[in-house]
Amino acid sequence: MTSFLRPRPALTSLAWPLAALALLVLFNLLFTPGFFNIELRDARLFGTPIDILNHASKVAIVAVGMTLVIATGGVDLSVGAVVAIAGAIAAMLATRTQAPFPLVVLAALAAGGVAGLCNGVLVTRLRLQPIVATLVLMVAGRGVAQLITDGLIITFEHRELSSLANTSFALLPIPAWIAIALALATGLLTRRTAAGMFLEAVGDNDRACRYAGVNDRAIKLAAYAFCGGCAGLAGLVECSYIKAADANNAGLFLELDVILAVVIGGTSLSGGRFSISGSLAGAVLIQTLTKTMYMHDVSADVAPLPKAIAVLAVCVLQSPVVKDRVSAAFSRGRP
Amino acid sequence: MIRVARRYVPILTTLALVVATFVAGSLAYPNFASAGVVRNLLVDNAFLAVAAVGATFVILSGAIDLSVGSVMAFTSILIARLIEHHAVHPLAAIALSLLAGAVFGLAQGLIIDLFKLPPFLVTLAGMFFARGAAFLIHPQSIGIKHPFVANVLNDQLSLRLPFGERGVSIPITVDIAIVTIALAAVVLRSTRFGRSVHAVGDDESSALLMGLNIRATRLGVFTLSGLCSALAGIVFTLYQQSGDPAACKGFELDAIAAVVIGGTLLRGGIGSVLGTALGVLLLGLIQTIITFQGDLSSWWTRIAVGLLVLAFVALQGQLSKRDE
């Protein structure tokens, strides 16, 4: 057994996405003219890297919540639909009522939390597989969002709501700060308390957890509710960014990018191991990859193809089969 | 005997719901119970039926395939491009796209099996891949004007039934769907492969101990799913008379919903193709009623489908809990 000689899991999980990111940055340095041009206008930075950060933050915000759900051995397919619901509620409150801004924020977060709670109840009480339980909301959620907006795209001129995603603080766009703050807070909450250990234990073996006196259901429920809340926050950012709520397209296929970001970041899909910093790196990696392809005239429609190949390659390299082969090849030379 | 009866509770529920929905529709709207409505119900859902047959095999084996809709779009644009831009005969184009679908499914199965990756992750990547590939073939939709498709496939080969004043014509797409369902039912019930699919989905380790070839079964299931997706894409192309790389987004969810509503257990092992066919009919009937009602938006369909899936999954959960 040489397991104690291996680097800490957090480091190995960050190594892959960071190495891939470094490769991408190097590629852009050599072959993409103007990729690193950043200019300062009105105390706000403009340029491709800032653009990437702005868009990656939406994925990153949801990825933080998704990381915890996947850590418990589950998955949440409904985040895209929840983004649409939260955006619809925020836009309706901002246009149809005189609700103060904090209430709008709170309502969007609460809507996400309630949606996540529903998923959690289906998983823990009805004992549905997570893919199935969250599939229900994924199918029905977009319908609910359209029910709220009455099938219309709700545009708004709300000052605070539209400035949320369109202003900068200390040079970085606000969504990036939200993502960083959320990740830091979640990291502290899980790694400096026993919560992270419980999450990993439940993901590793929920039955053993129950026998050991850990309330595995409550932990799963909390993870799904938290993930829903994160999706609500992302919904707020998304509708603020485009100054409208579009129930059809808000957060469409977001769940794919988010799950891929989490998996690339080294969180095990079978549960029991997670890395929030890895998920952040994964989100930035995916957005950089997307942006690089756009700048090389790959159309937005074709972009999924190389993305799929890249993601599959990372997953194959991280798969236990390949890892065992590699470590076997390394240990063969030793006595 | 009670055990057997319990097995059939979901499928009997679906049957009862199909009948009840149809009766309710007939009572609520004049002209609902007509040959034309039934014909449209079959025609509009033929490609869903074919896709759902493939999904039935995958789900029965305890896996999931999320690439269905993208593979359908890929097939449809591939056929259209081959016929219209490269002057390939429609039959050759159809054969080629079937082959492409099967190879794609096999590749997904191989990656899942060789690297022990979860099916939902690999087919999620497959969904991206096929969608991007579809747009790579041609970025816009292409109308198919080849005379063979319009005259022979869609006109001469359709069945004319003596209902109503002018008769009802059943197009070839419905025949394809019905033949697919019948073939799949026979394969699942009476072949070694079909029984292996059930066994692997029920309990993989027991299947292994019984000496079943799990790898071959899994590869077979995913190849078959790719083949069915391609066939569904062909039916869709004949139905639309055009190829569209943006078509069928999220269609895999409809297919999975039809399978679940048809009484197939999502953790695998128990289910039937006939149930799936009933599930497709129920989804189609709900859509028809919402169209007849007129003042309901189409998103009510999504909510209704979501609730139905939830109800069936809950029902199955209760049934299997009592089994334990």
Tens digit of each residue's pLDDT (9 = 90 or more) over B171-225: 889 999 999 999 999 999 999 999 999 999 988 888 888 888 999 999 999 999 9
- Contact list in B for residue A312 (CB cut-off 8 A) is 111, 122, 125, 129
Share of chain A above pLDDT 70, in %: 94
**How much is the average pLDDT of B24-31?**
89
List of chain A residues whose C-beta atoms are within 8 Å of the C-beta of residue B266: 129, 132
At A5 the pLDDT is 42
**Residue bearing the bigger pLDDT, B103 or A34:** B103
Confidence (pLDDT) at A253 = 76
B317 touches chain A (CB under 8 A): yes
Could B313 and A136 be called an inter-chain contact, meaning their C-beta atoms sit closer than 8 Å?
yes
Instruction: Tell me if A304 and B301 make a contact (CB, 8 A cut-off).
Output: no
Q: Which of A176-185, A292-301, B222-231, B297-306 has the lowest mean pLDDT?
A: B297-306
Residue A189 has pLDDT above 70, yes or no: yes
For the stretch A217-258, pLDDT in tens is 999 999 999 999 999 999 999 999 888 888 888 887 788 889
pLDDT attached to residue B279: 95
**Nearest-CA residue of chain B relative to A264?**
B121
Q: Phi/psi zone of residue B43: left (φ > 0), alpha (ψ -120 to 50 degrees), beta? A: alpha
Q: Of B246, B241, B278, B239, which Cα lies nearest the Cα of B262?
A: B278
Report residue A51 CA to chain centroid gap. Answer: 17
Indicate the residue of A133, A141, A146 with minimum beta-carbon distance to B297: A146
Q: Judge residue A185's burial from the number of C-beta atoms within 10 Å of its C-beta, 0-12 exposed, 13-18 middle, 19 or more buried.
A: exposed
Q: Look at A135 and B245 and tell me if their CB atoms are within 8 Å.
A: no
Tell me if ipTM is over 0.90. Answer: no
End-to-end CA, chain B: 17
Residue A335: its pLDDT value, please?
Answer: 47
Average pLDDT along chain B: 88
Instruction: Answer yes or no: do A312 and B124 touch at CB < 8 A.
Output: no
Residue B169: strand pairing partners: B160
CB atoms near residue B98 (< 10 Å): 18
- Does the structure show a pLDDT above 50 at A3? no
Q: Predicted confidence band at A306 (pLDDT cuts at 50, 70, 90)?
A: confident
Residue A75, CA atoms < 13 Å, CB-side half-sphere: 21
Tell me the domains of chain A and their CATH numbers. Answer: 9-20+43-322 (1.10.3470)
Task: Tell which of A132, A267, A294, A324 to mutate to test the B interface (max B CBs under 10 Å).
Answer: A132
The answer to whether residue B301 neighbours chain A at the CB level (below 8 Å) is yes
Neighbours of A261 (CB within 10 A): 30
d(CA A187, CA A184): 5
Closest to A288 measured CA to CA, from A1, A59, A95, A68: A59
Q: What is the mean pLDDT of residues B303-318?
A: 82
Query: What per-residue confidence (pLDDT) applies to B164?
Result: 64
- Chain A interface, best mutation among B256, B299, B300, B307, by max A CB count within 10 A: B299
Min mean pLDDT across A4-13, A301-310, B32-41 is at A4-13
Whether residue B298 is predicted with pLDDT greater than 90 in this model: the reply is: no
Check whether A13 has a pLDDT greater than 70: no
Give me the mean pLDDT over the A87-113 stretch: 92
For residue A332, pLDDT over 70 is answered with no
Q: What is the pLDDT of residue A24?
A: 87
Average pLDDT over all residues of chain A: 85
Q: Which residues of B touch A322 (CB under 8 A)?
A: 115
